Every structure is written in C-alpha cells, then in structure tokens.
Amino acid sequence: MATTTSLNHRWCVGIDLHKDTLTACTFCACCGETSYRKIACKNRNQIADFFGNLPRPHTVAIEAVGFYRWLWETLEPIVDELVLADATGARALAGRRIKTDRDDAFNIADLLAAGRLPKSYAPTAEVQLLRDLSRHRNGFSRQHARVLCRVKSIMNANNRPGPARLRSDGLIRYLKAYQAKLPARHVAMLWHCVDQLTVTERQIDQTEREIASVLQYDSFRERVAILNSFPGVGLVAAATILGEVGEFTRFTDRKSIGRFAGLNPSVYASGENNRTGRIAKAGSPHLRWILQQVAWTAIRTDDHVKKIYLRIAKRSGRKAAAVAMARKILTWMWYAVCRGESYRAETTPERST
C-alpha cells in the first residue's frame, strides 16, 4: 500500500484480534477505499512493518479482548493514533448477524470513521504494571487462603483448635509441639501445607515490595496518599484500586464510577413495572473484591462508616449494606481524588450513592 495520500484522506484501521491471527481493515471514509490484511500473531516483524507503513494520517482501533495488551504495546510507538474499541458495543451497533473476521474488522473501521465507535479505557504502561502486580499478589493471597482452609479442615477433623497464628511459622511451631497428638497421615498433610504456605508467603512479600516501589512513582504518589487516608485502605488496597480504576478524573459523575465497578443495582423498568435487583457485576471483579475487603474493615474501625452501615442494614440486611458501603467508599474516593483532598469523616456525604 502506498504511503503517500491526499491531505483530504483520513485512514481508519479496525483490527479484529484473535489469539493466533489478527485481521486489519484499512478504510477511508472520503473515497471508500478498503483493503484487508490477515497476519499471524507470532509474526511480530510483519505486524510492525505493516502498521509502520500505513498511509498517514491514520487512526488504529483494536477490538478489546482479554489479551489485547501485547498488540497495544507493539503498535503504540509506531502508529499515529491508537484507540481501544468496546467489542460488545461495536457488535451491537453493527446491526447484522453475519460474523466473519473481515466483517468485524470493517465494522470497527467504519464506526471509527463515522465517529460512532464506542471506546474502552486503555491504561497507561504504569497503570498496567500496577494492575498486573496487584492481580498477581491477590492471586497468591487467595491461594494462601485456600491452604489455610485446608489446615482448618484437618484441625476440625481432629477436634483440635490449631495454631493461633495461621501462617507458616505459626503452623511449624504448632506441629513441633503437638504433632504427637495427631494421626500420622494428618501430620504429613499439614507439613505439605507448611511447604505451600512458606512458598506463597515468600511470593506475596516479594510482590508487595515490587508494588511498593511502583507506588513511589510521581504519577501515583499523591493519589496513594489520598487513598491511604481512607479507613481500611493499605498498600495492597491502594494499589489494586489505582490499577483497576486508572484515572479517577475520567468519570464524569459519582454514578458512572459505581457502574464501572459493577456495584450499581441492576434495574428493570418497563411501563408500570420498575424494580431493582442484585448488583450488575459488569466491571472488574478484582476491584469489587478489594472494595468489599475495604468496606468490612472500615465498618469495624470507623464510626462514621459503621453508622451508615447500620442504618442501611436495618432495612436491607447486613450483606446488602456491606455492598452499599463498598459503593459509597468508592464514590468518596472519587470525590477525594478529583478534589485532591484526604478522607475526613465529618465532611463525607452520607448519601453519596
């Protein structure tokens, strides 16, 4: 394809991405010229050559899938403009049942040219690094919790209280003192659990040190200080929230950030029927999980949060109240970060969600 074009041309490139191949549609709205190229994802040099030689000016849109990031990082330095397309929204606007790689790529390019392409948020490299590290660490934490459940199960089977401190060192001390009172098979199982806990705790500690170093970046420092002022928020919570949310200022109002997290109640309204259901769960499960942990800790440690929680629990129950507090705390964080203010219970709006 020639690299010299008329100044009136504006090229839009839609990419339908799969694990093994990508299909690119290059489209110009003013003249209707369209071309396609299918490339195997393993041929990184071909991908770089193709997109590096696109006619200019151009905009490239990648369909948002769970493994798009490698392509984003490959293309970001070499294309004029790069956007992330909301795959679900783009397909809904297509208004057709035919589905091929070419059709999907053309649909993205066509919507991009018409200015109707629904876009998704693509985090910066620093936010993506923090997101990867926090998810990695939280995965180890859940793995650690599963092993502890196994330890408790073995102890319950023997009607034993078990160690007071459920970490590898506490379990080691307990086994050395009381293993004679347990069946040999269960002692062997518990030593296996010690091995797993020891490795997992070392991995958690190492990952947390990496997270702490990333949070020292200038782009995070001010927001970390604000988030840490909230009850229930520490190193891991602040990192997870920043990694999943990215820029707080991209949300225009308090309800939009609640919808992003999937903590808003689902609503059905048709005619005279109007009812709400469970939370939508449309956003990041990692963000919902950490916000729920923050909410339970804040309920125990902060009088202002506990007061609101008890008021909601009276009419909706404790579990629903805890979810509502997670949504409220996220909204308070949005207010605080956008205004550059720390958390202050006496000025926090009770009815912010």
Contact 306, 299 (CB under 8 A): yes
Calculate Rg over the CA atoms of the chain.
Answer: 26
196 and 235 inside one domain: no
Domain end residue (candidates: 89, 104, 120):
120
> What DSSP designation does 76 have?
T
- Consecutive 10-residue averages of pLDDT for the chain (353 residues): 56 95 93 93 96 94 93 96 91 77 93 93 95 97 95 94 85 94 96 97 97 95 96 96 95 90 77 72 91 96 95 93 95 95 73 48
Q: Are residues 204 and 313 in the same domain?
A: no
Residue 2 maps to a domain = no
For residue 167, being part of any structural domain is answered with yes
Record the pTM.
0.88
State residue 228's pLDDT score.
96
Tell me which of 105, 120, 135 is where a domain ends. 120
Give residue 150's pLDDT. Answer: 95
pLDDT at position 4, please?
A: 45
- Report the pLDDT value the prediction gives residue 348, as an integer from 0 to 100: 64
Please tell me the predicted confidence (pLDDT) of residue 32: 85
Q: What is the pLDDT of residue 6?
A: 46
Q: What are the helix (H) ranges across 246-302? A: 254-261, 285-301
- Is 313 in the same domain as 206? no
pLDDT at 353: 43
HEC secondary structure over 139-161:
HHHHHHHHHHHHHHHHHHHCCCC
Indicate whether 224 belongs to any domain.
yes
194-234 tens-digit pLDDT: 999 999 999 999 999 999 999 999 999 999 999 999 999 99
Domain housing 148: 125-214
Whose tokens are 């934490």? That residue is 141
Smallest CA-to-CA distance from 126 within 236, 235, 234, 216 is with 216
How many separate domains does the chain show?
Answer: 3
Biggest CA pair distance of the chain? 85
Residue 194 located in a structural domain: yes
pLDDT of residue 344: 82
Query: Do residues 343 and 237 share a domain?
Result: yes
28 touches 10 (CB < 8 A): yes
Domain assignment of residue 209, yes or no? yes
66 and 41 within one domain: yes
In a domain, 96, yes or no: yes
CA separation for the pair 27, 189 (Å, rounded): 62
Same domain, 55 and 99: yes
User: According to the model, what pLDDT value does residue 346 have?
Assistant: 56
